[in-house]
Structure 1
Amino acid sequence: MQVLFKITRQPENSPAKIQTYTLDVDPANTILDCLNQIKWEQDGSLAFRKNCRNTICGSCAMRINGRSALACKENVGSELARFQQISDLGIPEITIAPMGNMPVIKDLVVDMRSFWDHLEAVDPYVSTNARQVPEREFLQTPEERSRLDQTGNCILCGACYSECNAREVNPDFVGPHALAKAYRMVADDRDDQVEERLEKYHQGTQGVWGCTRCFYCNTVCPMDVAPLDQISKIKQEILDRKDNQASRSIRHRKVLIDLVKEGGWIDERKFGLQVVGNYFRDLKGLLSLAPLGLRMLVRGKFPLVFEPSEGALEVRSLINAVQALDSQSSSSQSIKSED
């Protein structure tokens, strides 16, 4: 079958352009097979990264039909079935572009220095003191080791980083790949710097509170690492250790849960006063709410009366049940760690 490949070509510091190649391919051919065919038979100047060809190294990550993926994993047939575009010539199209959030070096090759720098910023290795184990090896139970399996599957391809909305607007945010690796260290019982790590991941918006929870990282991850899930686990570890006065980020999460628990949904009047105004302790925060409050009043959008939802009791019981289960799970893990 014939397929048009529309590839974004871009020399460094130059405008991008779209170049089209027509290939005779089999639906089972991978996108990497097709790129190789273009490079070997039509245009030797096309630049892209590749190595293992077997979903192991992560080198060939790029945007395929608008989302980041591994060229060696995706094939023509699945791409056309997922998102088929038909050209003016009546031939199906596949679009290929470089990953996002990283500057282009050439064509589909991007500069990944920020990706590696942000990974290094979370100290993604077991602490030095924990590695100095005398006389015997550091043994783990199967259960302790299993807690590292999902995050250990990360091949550092950069797909999640490429699609991260938070990274796009906040260059200080370390990214979902780094925080997924960070949780691996938090979950590793051999590490003796968990408290220091959590304090570091809690600061500002470069850590877990910079995540906008857009879910794209989970969607594009080729290894099912689910970076957003790992970020949420770090948040929960922090929340278990902090009270409302620790930071606005902590208050935001705790107040949200308390208000939903109280009324079934969020009373926005209390939410602003308790989170931004810090229960009337933060005068500057309270004053910052004034312009928004006045605009809402003028437009009739400020609720003078809050009516709890009909299912408030059910919502409250569900939250209580989940919190009780979390508490039991934390207690059992603590007991096992002491044993």
Structure 2
Amino acid sequence: MEVLFKVIRQTENSSPVVQTYRLEAEPGNTILDCLNQIKWEQDGTLAYRKNCRNTICGSCAMRINGRSALACKENLRSEIARLENIPASGSKASSIPEMTIAPLGNMPVIKDLVVDMSSFWDNLEAVAPYVSTAGRQVPEKEFLQTPQERSLLDQTGNCIMCGACYSECNAREVNSDFVGPHALAKAYRMVADSRDDDTENRLENYNEDTKGVWGCTRCFYCNSVCPMDVEPLEQITKIKQEILQHKQVADSRSIRHRKVLVDLVKEGGWIDERKFGLHVVGNYFKDLTGLLSIVPLGMRMIAKGKFPLSFESSEGTQQVRSLIEAVQQEEGSRE
């Protein structure tokens, strides 16, 4: 079959250009096979990373037709079928298939499809993704784990550090302090590891403003592109749950936000917005700076008739309360 490859090419600090290559390939050929064919037969200057060719090393991650993926995993047949199911793609079965290949996002381009992953590795290092120093001291006997304890590490242990989730992360795109989904997925592995003895300090670090778990916008892109089903968003959520279990309501605004929301829904069936702002931002009237910061907003709401002067509990308050308490009891029984 004939196929067109539109490769986004550029060098460091230059504007990207699109270069089109036409080649004959089999439907079962992977994207990496096709890139190799282009490099070996048409253009030896084309730059990209590769290594194992077997979905193990993660080296060949790139953006394939608009989403980050492994070039050694995706093939022409599956990509053509995917594009045909996207109404806006403009792909037609009768036309020559087109593959658009671009470098990963959220990282500067070195050349063509090769990106500088320094920030990716630096942010991974920031979460200390290894068993704590005390835990790594040579013991008198092995650090044994039960099969159940080891099973908690299986999913995050599958991460191959390909950078696909980091490339698609909306939070990272707008917040340079956010460490990224790859780092936090590895962070949960340490929280769940029975051999690690630094959980409290870890949770303190992962709880830091929008640099850690609270910087995640829950866009779900990290889960959707992960080639190894690590589900980084789920691991971030687990860390949040651990933080909430270890911390008190007044420890931080992020934690208060979650706890106040649940408490108010339990109390009235839905959120009493008058209390929500005072409790979260004003820390139950303890944070005068926080209280003063919401006064202008409150005045504008009153002036426009948007401030609720009274609150009536939902008719289903008791049912809502019972449901929340049942879930909390079930979660408590699993600990």
TM-score (norm 1): 0.92
| Alignment deviations for residues 228-261 of structure 1 (CA, whole Å, 9 cap, x no partner) | 1111111111111111110111101111111222
CA contact (8 A) 1:160 1:217 kept: yes
Shift of residue 121, structure 1, vs aligned partner? 0.8
1:227 to 232, 242, 257: 232
| Alignment deviations for residues 29-60 of structure 1 (CA, whole Å, 9 cap, x no partner) | 11111111111122111111110111100001
Distance 2:270 2:83 in 1: 37
| Alignment of 1:55 onto 2:55 | yes
2:288 to 268, 283, 286: 283
Partner of 1:10: 10
1:137 to 112, 117, 142: 142
Shift of residue 131, structure 1, vs aligned partner? 2.4
Shift of residue 14, structure 1, vs aligned partner? 0.2
SS class of match (1:293): helix
2:172 to 167, 179, 202: 167
Distance 1:168 1:233 in 2: 23
Unaligned runs of 5+ in 1: 331-339
Aligned residues: 330
Shift of residue 87, structure 1, vs aligned partner? 6.8
**Letter of the structure 2 residue corresponding to residue 313 of structure 1:** Q
TM-score (norm 2): 0.93
| Alignment deviations for residues 267-301 of structure 1 (CA, whole Å, 9 cap, x no partner) | 33322111112122222222222333333344443
**Letter of the structure 1 residue corresponding to residue 257 of structure 2:** H
**Letter of the structure 2 residue corresponding to residue 192 of structure 1:** D
Distance 1:315 1:76 in 2: 50
Shift of residue 263, structure 1, vs aligned partner? 3.1
Shift of residue 171, structure 1, vs aligned partner? 1.0
Out of 281-290 and 291-300, give the one that drifted further. Answer: 291-300
| Alignment deviations for residues 138-171 of structure 1 (CA, whole Å, 9 cap, x no partner) | 2111111111101100000011111111111111
1:183 to 184, 188, 199: 188
SS class of match (1:46): coil
CA contact (8 A) 2:83 2:91 kept: no
Distance 1:81 1:303 in 2: 52
| Alignment deviations for residues 94-151 of structure 1 (CA, whole Å, 9 cap, x no partner) | 2111111110001111000000011111111112221224332121111111111011
Distance 2:74 2:112 in 1: 19
1:122 to 116, 124, 127: 127
CA contact (8 A) 2:244 2:255 kept: yes
**Letter of the structure 1 residue corresponding to residue 9 of structure 2:** R
Shift of residue 23, structure 1, vs aligned partner? 2.4
Out of 78-87 and 270-279, give the one that drifted further. Answer: 78-87
Partner of 1:304: 309
CA contact (8 A) 1:86 1:93 kept: no
Distance 2:304 2:101 in 1: 46
Out of 240-249 and 78-87, give the one that drifted further. Answer: 78-87
Out of 100-109 and 308-317, give the one that drifted further. Answer: 308-317
Distance 1:131 1:179 in 2: 21
Shift of residue 308, structure 1, vs aligned partner? 4.0
Change over 3 Å in CA distance of 1:87–1:321 after alignment to 2: closer
SS class of match (2:160): coil
Distance 2:69 2:185 in 1: 18
| Alignment deviations for residues 169-190 of structure 1 (CA, whole Å, 9 cap, x no partner) | 1111111111111111111111
Change over 3 Å in CA distance of 1:95–1:130 after alignment to 2: same
Partner of 1:24: 24
| Alignment of 1:108 onto 2:113 | yes
Distance 1:300 1:4 in 2: 59
Partner of 1:42: 42
Distance 1:308 1:20 in 2: 63
Please, what is the CA RMSD of the aligned residues?
Answer: 1.9
Change over 3 Å in CA distance of 1:76–1:268 after alignment to 2: farther
CA contact (8 A) 1:48 1:109 kept: yes
Change over 3 Å in CA distance of 1:26–1:312 after alignment to 2: farther
Identical aligned residues as a percent: 76
Distance 1:120 1:199 in 2: 16
Partner of 1:333: none
